[in-house]
């Protein structure tokens, strides 16, 4: 799953640690999400979307139907 987390996080001036603290995960989890090595739960995807100021999960996450 590809994400725009890094792009939106940097636009907001947030570090990985600040985003992680805001959504209750580790910095390593944010790093794994940004590098498409981890698929978040729906709740985590929702929290990240809201912290990044986006309205829809699809604004941040690209879900691949082929999996």
User: Are residues 1 and 61 in contact, defined by beta-carbon separation less than 8 angstroms?
Assistant: yes
Q: With respect to residue 9, please indicate whether it lies within any of the assigned structural domains.
A: yes
pLDDT at res. 63:
79
Q: What is the pLDDT of residue 50?
A: 98
Name the pLDDT band for 1 (thresholds 50, 70, 90): confident
Q: Is residue 66 part of a domain?
A: no
In a domain, 67, yes or no: no
Q: What is the pLDDT of residues 4-62, one digit of tens each?
A: 999 999 999 999 999 999 999 999 999 999 999 999 999 999 999 999 999 999 999 99
The whole domain housing 34 covers: 2-59
Of 61, 57, 60, the C-alpha closest to 12 is: 60
CATH code at position 40 = 1.10.260.40
Number of domains in the chain: 1
Does residue 65 fall inside a structural domain?
A: no
Tell me the β-bridge partners of 61.
3
Taking 50 as the threshold, does the pLDDT of residue 67 lie above it?
no
Q: Are 62 and 1 in contact (CB under 8 A)?
A: yes
């Amino acid at each position: 799953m590809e994400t725009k987390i890094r792009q939106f996080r940097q636009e907001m001036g947030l570090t990985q640690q600040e985003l992680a603290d805001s959504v209750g995960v580790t910095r390593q989890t944010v790093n794994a999400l940004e590098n498409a090595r981890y698929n978040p739960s729906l709740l985590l995807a929702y929290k990240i979307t809201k912290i990044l100021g986006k309205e829809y999960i699809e604004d941040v996450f690209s879900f691949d139907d082929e999996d």
